[in-house]
Each structure stands twice: as structure tokens, then as C-alpha cells.
Structure 1
Amino acid sequence: MNTPSSNTPSQTPVRPSGCPGLLRIVPAMDGGICRVKLAGGSITASQARAVADVAMHYASGVIEATNRANLQIRGVGSQHSALIAPLLAAGLGPNTAASDEVRNLMLSPSAGIDPAMALDTWPLAQEVLASLETTPRLSELSAKFAVQLDGGEALAMLEHPHDLWLSAFEHEGQVLLGFGLAGCPAHDAALAAVPVAQGHELIMAVLNLFLDRARPEHTRMRHLLKEVPVTQFVQQLAERLSVAPVQLAAWRRHTPETPLHIGTYPQRETGRVYVGAVPPLGRLNAAMLNGLAQIASDYGDGTLRFTPWQSVLLPHIRAELAPEVTQQLIALGLLCDVTDPLSHLVACTGSSACAKGLADTKQDARQLATLLSQPLNIHLSGCQRSCAAAHIAPVTLLAVAPGHYDLYLRAPEHAGFGVLRGCNLTIEAAGAWLEARQRSNTDD
């Protein structure tokens, strides 16, 4: 049984957080929230069944896929220990209680199987995760401090901001890891690069240098870099590395135009595919998760991969069986059609379960989907915190009152959600505005 060590320090964390974890269940209007962090978004069928079982017996049965490729159990009742113990026994918990906070390493959902990858990131990821769990000092990091390891896959969430990101690419016959701080590969050029063999060393050096320089109020890398110039940080980082970083001429990660997380796509291995499906608005119930586990066992390798798009992949499916798998996923209530507008909408918990939510975003999103003739990537947020989306969506509807939203369009030159294009719109009015805009763009 993977039980956190009882000798974990009990003092107040250096950077306390209100974020839920597996061992810290945070109250909400609909009960407690338990967040189960998944290594690289991956979970075995037996682990998925354990999550479904405790969600059904000790919570409301509602399970959410998060934008960091984790799972959240909602509506947790008073029997916290009874819910947590089976998850620990299934291997879903940390080695020590303190390390539950810092297991924040994002991979591509298609890591190791993507035909376009420059690097299989799993070996390095496992090494990094082991260090995060076994290095006591790293528990001083904030629960929000996040690292991304990108292997150059065609399927990768490159817009989420991370405190440290690494991206693999080929350079003069060698695979290097370009890296950046307080940003993301989609928008920022790499600061420098290191050979893959130094990837773990680089990550540990960055984390320790951050802790050496940061004050307790510096919870994220961006806070520190407001006071310490990035050039100074990188220079001090180089002094801690066994191999000098490779200086790059403003190398940037190629960003795929279309996320490949809905539908069927080939894997690196001939004759195998993965099938991607979206739980509507990121929500599953116990029956859906059990069903996914069964399909993964019957047709795949017995694993599921959750994604930063709040969807799920079933890898290692024989290509000729993909249509059958797709039909079974649809029967479970998942969305497998990339043209379905609902599969592209993201909505936070909203006023039905969050005291800060100003509108029932989940219900409003379902209504909006019926008003759209074409899919659009739209984020409905019940308040300014933007909990459901870590990046700025092309279209954001920000709730201002029940059933009413301000409408923003993303613009690189504008901070926050972008340019305000409509105020206090009903869902019907927002749908009509977006439809008119799409027709106008098409006509152009």
C-alpha cells in the first residue's frame, strides 16, 4: 500500500495553498473536492475503477477531468479517510504527505506513442516525479508551481503557462531540451537548451535555485522574475550545471494548428491508434469511468490518458477496432465527433456548486452549444479566477449575473481575457453574436 510516510514534517507549509489534493479535501457548496494527481495524466483501468468506486460510495459520484490532466472527485462527504485509503492502496497517492502538493509535471497525452515526437518523455518524467516525491526540500514549492515536459509531439497543450517548460527538438543530429521560465512554448522562445541527459539535472537545478532566491510570498516563477532579471537567473543556473547550456538563436516550438484529442489518430506503432473522447464539459460519473476502464482493458493496454483539454485518450487500440471502440464511447455518453460544438466548450463549476460563481456556467454552456452551427473554442467562466482554463481561450464568456456574460475575444496585445466585444449578453445573444461573426469570417 502506497501510504504517505508518518514522519513527514507537520509544520505549516512555506507556501500554503487552498488547492485541493488527495490528502487535503477542500470544501465547496456541493461537498468536498478531492484532487487525484495522475502521473503524466495516465491511470490504469484498476486505478480508474478505484476512483469510480470511492466517488460513488463516499461522494456525489461526480468526477471531473481537469485542465492539468488530473481527476477531481466532487461532493465528498464526511468519511474522508474511507475515501482516501482505497486511492492510496491503488497507488494514486504520494510517497510522503508533503509531496502530494508538488507532483505537477505535465506531459503530452500522446507521450511515447506520438509519430511526431522527438523524444519519449516517459523515462525522464518518471525520474523527475521520483525526485519530486523524495526530495524533502521540494515540498516548499507552492502547490501551483508547475513544470511541463514536451517531447515535440503533434498532440501537446502548449498554451498553459508553466513555471518551467522544456521542449525537445533535434539540433545538429542531437536531441536537445529547450527551456523557458514563467511562460509556455506556444508564445515564448527558449532561453537556452541542454542535452536530454542533463534534463533531470536542469529541472532540479531550476527548482533549487528558485527556492534559494525566492521569498515565501513568491509562489510562482513569475513573481521571482519581477525582482530577479531572467538573464541573471539563467546565468546563476548555468553555474550549477555540469554541462553549459546551448545558446539558441531564438528557437521556438512549432505549434500544431489543430489539437488531436478528439477522434482516432495513428500511433507510432504500425497498426495501432489512439481514440480520443470528451466527457461533456469535463464531467464524468462513476459508470462512465468504469466503462472507460472496461474498454481500455478489452481493446487497449489497460490504461487511460487524461488530457489538458479535459478529455481522455484510449491508447494502443488496433486500428480496425477503432470504430467499435468509438461506438462504445458514444454509448457511455462521451463525445467523439470533432464537429460537435459541445466538445469544444469549457465551463467551470459555476454557481450551482461554487460560491464565487455568478452564473450556472455548465447549464449555460449546454444551451450555447445548441445555438452554434460550427465548433468554437469557448470558455465560460463564472468569475475572474478562470479556474476551468489555464490559458486564454479564443472566446471567453465571463459571467456578470445569472445567465448574463461579458464576451471577450483573445488578442495578443491585450492582457487578461482579451478585447471586450459585448457586455451583459444573454446566452442567446452571445450565440447570435458568435454565429454572425462566423458567417462574416466565412464570407471574407
Structure 2
Amino acid sequence: MPSRDAKPGAPLNRASPPTVSSHAVTTPRSSACPGLLRIVPARDGGICRIKLPGGVLSAAQARAIADASTRHANGAAELTNRANLQLRGVRNGHEAALSAALIGAGLGPAGALSCADDVRNVMISPAAGRDPHALIDTTPLCGELLTLLQGDARLVALSPKFALLLDGGEQLARVDHPHDVWLAASADEEGVRFVFGLAGCPAPAGENSNPRDHRDSNGTGALAAVPASRVPALLRALLHTFLDLAPADATRMRDLLATQCADALLRHAQRYVDFPLARDASLSHWQRHIAADPSLRLGAHAQRGDGSSHVGGQPPLGRIDAATLRALAALAQKHGNGRLHATPWQSVLLPDIATTAVPAVLAKLIALGLACDPAQAITHVIACAGSAGCAKGLADTKTDALQLAERLPAGVDVHLTGCPRSCAAAHRAPYTLLAAAPGLYDLYRRDGRPGFGQCVAPQLTIDEAAALLARLARSTPHA
């Protein structure tokens, strides 16, 4: 397993060959999610999703993706909201060649279990190991969890949507996405431990924050805490508990929690570990030690330790064409450590940039069309593929999102979705525009209720939506 003393940012998922569990392989849950080997048809061609260990890819891998997308797909890559990449427009008959090219670039699962591609869903901060506010470098532990997921043959039965969050306490952290299991670093007199919960999010810092407000609809809040050394065993116990108890049609932890209480799951998980595993009532009001600040993904910010910086930019709506991807790879090699970090805000981070090189790197990102300032409205807009790429989409959300960004008030976060499935956003955005027909949207405002929240106004054009959002932003500036 990777050493806890591994250099920050060292490649994940390159451990020694994993040992396959003696458990029988459970039948995988059916899924329409795209993967590296399962290219799913869509209106604009096939979709291939590439899981990036810790959100990281090397410059050589970036160039391989650019080449493969040009040869076999539409010539662009899309950043996803879980810090992965996907290729759209995969041409008919090119599926096997595309998968082979990506596997040849080292983008497939490690070890002998090719079917483990689906379960490589561990999210960490894109600044893991470098964030000055972090309590622990989660990079080595993330490597251990990926080795577990790829080495235990039974875990291939998990849904491709089943996802894990490993939060090191960074300020640059996406902690508003509900995860099936979340683990968050917390400091106490015994050192750093990982608090964990099921089907939800770590509660953010703040006196006015209620931990109960940050669960999924069936989430648990913080249950207990374990030392970092016990996290892999804990996770294995929780995943096997899910597979032991969840019916075949249950794909997410929230589905199991709808029928079993969290304490029952902990009691069942106890049989898999040799340390006490029970709810810790003292954690019922636990919160992160620092508020997350997603604006740190943009521009240049100092890293921990050596005086270098990470520099980030966001391509419009997360789409990077092949030429831009090759240019980013060259930039990472020339001024950074030769690696790119995808972020769950559909942006790119270049770590380990020397202070003297920061102005040149920022200028290059801007010249490539990436937004590097959180004041730019395009960094506050996300959109699904829409009707141009998806048969379920009722409007051309990508085109409409670009139009909206030109009129959007400062600091207003908006999610455009072509249908209620909300593929582009795993979190609940402050405002959601749900397509009702081509060019028409129902506007929702988040208010704590399930789903998108309260419907503020139906059947709006983009211009009408922009004007209403401006009025709402003035009346509720912290929405």
C-alpha cells in the first residue's frame, strides 16, 4: 500500500497488485452509466467516462485523451462534477479502439479486475497534500482505498454511482455533494481522526450551520470516528455490509437506509472489523473545522510548504477541445510537475507552479479561453448536455447557459438541466433552471426541501430568467 509519507501529489492507484478477496463475486448492479469499457449511446454519439484516481492525470495521459478524442469521438473532453473526464460523440464502430487506446495510456483500473473500473469513485480535494489548511494529506489514503476497491472482487457489484468522499479538511474542497460514504478529517487530543457518515455530506463550519441540514434525504450525519490507519478496514466493512443487506434493486446507501437504521448497519459492519464500531453521540453536532471556498480553484493560490502555487482555470461549461488539452499538458510539463488535476467544479488545476512562473501560466490559461477569476459569471453556471446530446433533454441547455452567463448577476450560481435527472449537478444549486420546452425553463430556488426547491416562476425565456435572477439576487444577496 502507498506510504503515508508519500510525496504530495504522487500518482495514486499504482500500488502493488491487489489481493482478490475470497468472497464470491456478486452480480454487478445494472447501470446505464458510461465507463471506460461501457460506452453508452446518446443523441450525439457514444459517451465514454474516464475515472481519474484522485482527479489526477499526467501530461502524457492528457495527450493520449486528446488524440483518442480526435480519432474516435468529437474531439473534446468534458470535465465532470466528480473530477473525472468523459468523451462524447464516440463514433459507431470505434468503441473498442477507444477503450484500448485509453487503457494503453494507463487510464484503466489497476490489477487484474477490469470490471473494477466502475467502482473507482473516491473524491478528494484537488489540492490534497498542498492545501495550507488541511489537517492531513489524503493522497496516500486515497491510494489505499482505490487498491481496496479494485482488489476485492465482490465490490464490483457496487453501482457505478456508488461514491466515496475522503475530506482532509482542505479549504479547497467540494463537500456539498452527497456521497454514499463520507469520511472527514477532524483534529482532537488524540490527533487526526476521520469522522464518517452515510448518504450525505460533512456538515460545514459555521455557527449558524445545522448538521442536520446537510444530510441527504435519508442520510445519517456524523456517526463515529476512526484513526486514519483504520479507514480502509472501516470502508471495507461498510461496503460489504451494503452488499450483504441491500436488495438487488438498491444502488445507493440511501436506498438501504430507507429500510435499515444506521445503528443496525454499524452492528452488522462490526463483524468485519476488530475494533469497536458504534455511534458516537458526541459527534451529533460535529462540523468541519474550516469553511470550504470553491473560488480557490480559480487563479493562483499559495500551496503548503515550499512557496509554490497552484493555478487554476475553468473552461466554459467544463468542455476542453483536444488542442486546449494538449496545451494544458505542455504547460504542466513546462512550469509544473507534469500533471493536471481535474476538479469537481469542472475546472483544471495545475499544481507546483513556481512563484516566478505564475503570471505566465495565468496568462496562458486565459489565452486558452479558461476563466481564472471567480467574478466571471461563466464560473457560476453549469449545464447538462441538453437536447443537443441527450434524447431526454427538452432544451439546448449548453447554448442557453452561455447566453445566460452574458446576463447573469455577479455571484449567482445557476444550474441548467434539460430534464429532472440533474445529471450535471450532484449537489443542490441555489438556483435551477429546469427545461420545460426549447428555450423555456421553470426557475427553482433552493429552500431546504427535497429536489430543486421552490418553483419561483414557470416557462421563462433565458432573458426573463436573467432578469428575475437579478431581482432575486438583490433581495436575497446570500442565496
Task: Sort the TM-score into its range (normalised by shorter chain).
Answer: over 0.9
User: Offset at 1:232?
Assistant: 1.3
| Structure 1: distance between partners of 2:345 and 2:370 | 14
Find 2:323's aligned residue among 262, 287, 293: 287
Report the 3-state secondary structure (helix = DSSP H, G, I; strand = E; otherwise coil) of the residue aligned with 1:334: coil
Partner of 1:256: 291
Count of equivalent residues: 437
Whether contact under 8 Å (1:158, 1:255) holds in the other structure is no
Q: Answer yes or no: is 1:74 the counterpart of 2:98.
A: no
SS of the residue corresponding to residue 387 of structure 2 reads coil
Deviation for aligned residue 1:276: 1.2
1:97 aligns with 2:114: yes
1:130 matched to which residue of 2?
A: 147
What is the TM-score of this pair, normalised by structure 2?
A: 0.88
User: Does the Cα contact within 8 Å between 2:431 and 2:443 map onto a contact in 1?
Assistant: yes
**Does the aligned pair in 2 maintain the 1:31–1:74 contact within 8 Å?**
yes
The 3 A distance-change label for structure 1 pair 194 and 58 is same
Offset at 1:212? 1.0
Partner SS state of residue 162, structure 2: coil
The CA distance in 1 between the partners of 2:316 and 2:412, in whole Å, is 15
Give the CA deviation at 1:84: 1.5
| Matched AA of 2:196 | F
Specify the alignment match of 2:64 in structure 1.
Answer: 50
1:234-287 Cα distance to aligned partner (Å, 9 max, x none):
233234322224823321224625312111111102311101110100111101
Q: Who is 1:84 aligned against?
A: 99
Q: Distance in 1 between matches of 2:68 and 2:223?
A: 44
Cα deviations by residue, 1:13-35 (Å, 9 ceiling, x for unpaired) = 43111100000111111111110
Query: Conserved in 2, the CA contact under 8 Å of 1:341 and 1:375?
Result: yes
Task: Out of 250-259 and 295-304, give the one that drifted further.
Answer: 250-259
**Partners of 1:76 and 1:403 in 2: CA distance:** 27
Distance 2:463 2:146 in 1: 46
- Cα deviation for residue 97 of structure 1 reads 2.1
Which one of the candidate residues 437, 440, 450 is aligned to 1:415?
450
Alignment-mate amino acid for residue 136 of structure 1: A
Q: Which residue of 1 aligns with 2:235?
A: 203
Once the two structures are superposed, what CA deviation does each residue of 1:53-108 show, in whole Å capped at 9, x if it has no partner? 00011111121000010000111112122212221111100232210111111111
The worse-fitting range, judged by mean Cα deviation, of 183-192 and 165-174 is 183-192
In the TM superposition, what are the counterparts of 1:29-428 in structure 2 within 5 Å? 29-77=43-91, 78-94=93-109, 95=111, 96-186=113-203, 187-188=214-215, 189-245=221-277, 247=280, 248-250=282-284, 251-254=286-289, 256=291, 258-259=293-294, 260-412=296-448, 414-428=449-463
Which of 413, 438, 442 is residue 473 of structure 2 equivalent to?
438
- Rounded to whole Å, the distance in 2 between the matches of 1:147 and 1:178 is 13
Alpha-carbon distance between aligned partners in 1 of 2:174 and 2:120, rounded to the nearest angstrom:
18
| Aligned partner letter, 2:431 | V
- Residues 338-361 of structure 1: CA deviation (Å, up to 9, x unaligned): 101011100000011110000000
Percent identity reads 51
The answer to which of 47-56 and 372-381 deviates more is 372-381
- Looking at structure 1, the residues matched to 49 and 463 of structure 2 have their Cα atoms a distance apart, in angstroms, of 34
* 1:135 positional shift: 1.0
- Cα RMSD after superposing both structures: 2.1
Q: Which runs of 5+ in 1 are unaligned?
A: none
In the alignment, the residues of structure 2 paired with residue 223 and residue 164 of structure 1 have an alpha-carbon distance, to the nearest angstrom, of: 13
Cα distance in 2 for partners of 1:254, 1:269 equals 20
> In the alignment, is the contact (CA less than 8 A) between 1:41 and 1:305 conserved in 2?
yes
- Structure 2 equivalent of residue 18 of structure 1: 32
The separation in 1 between residues aligned to 2:445 and 2:360, in whole angstroms, is 39
The amino acid across from 1:172 in the alignment is: E
Compute the displacement of 1:402 (Å): 0.6
The answer on whether the counterparts of 1:169 and 1:178 sit within 8 Å (CA) in structure 2 is yes
Deviations 1:166-193 (A, max 9, x none): 0011111411000000111141441100
CA distance in 2, matches of 1:43, 1:425: 40
CA–CA distance in structure 1, aligned partners of residues 88 and 292 of structure 2: 34
> Residue 27 of structure 1 is aligned with which of 10, 28, 41?
41
Amino acid at match of 1:297: Q
Instruction: Give the TM-score of the pair, scaled to structure 1.
Output: 0.95
- Aligned amino acid, residue 237 of structure 1: A
Q: Provide the C-alpha distance between the structure 2 equivalents of 1:256 and 1:319, rounded to a whole number of angstroms.
A: 26
Q: 1:122-176: CA deviations, max 9, x gaps?
A: 1111111111111110011111111111111111111111110000111114110
Distance 1:442 1:154 in 2: 23
Q: Distance in 1 between matches of 2:173 and 2:337?
A: 21
Distance 1:242 1:424 in 2: 57
1-side partners of 2:283 and 2:76: how far apart? 48
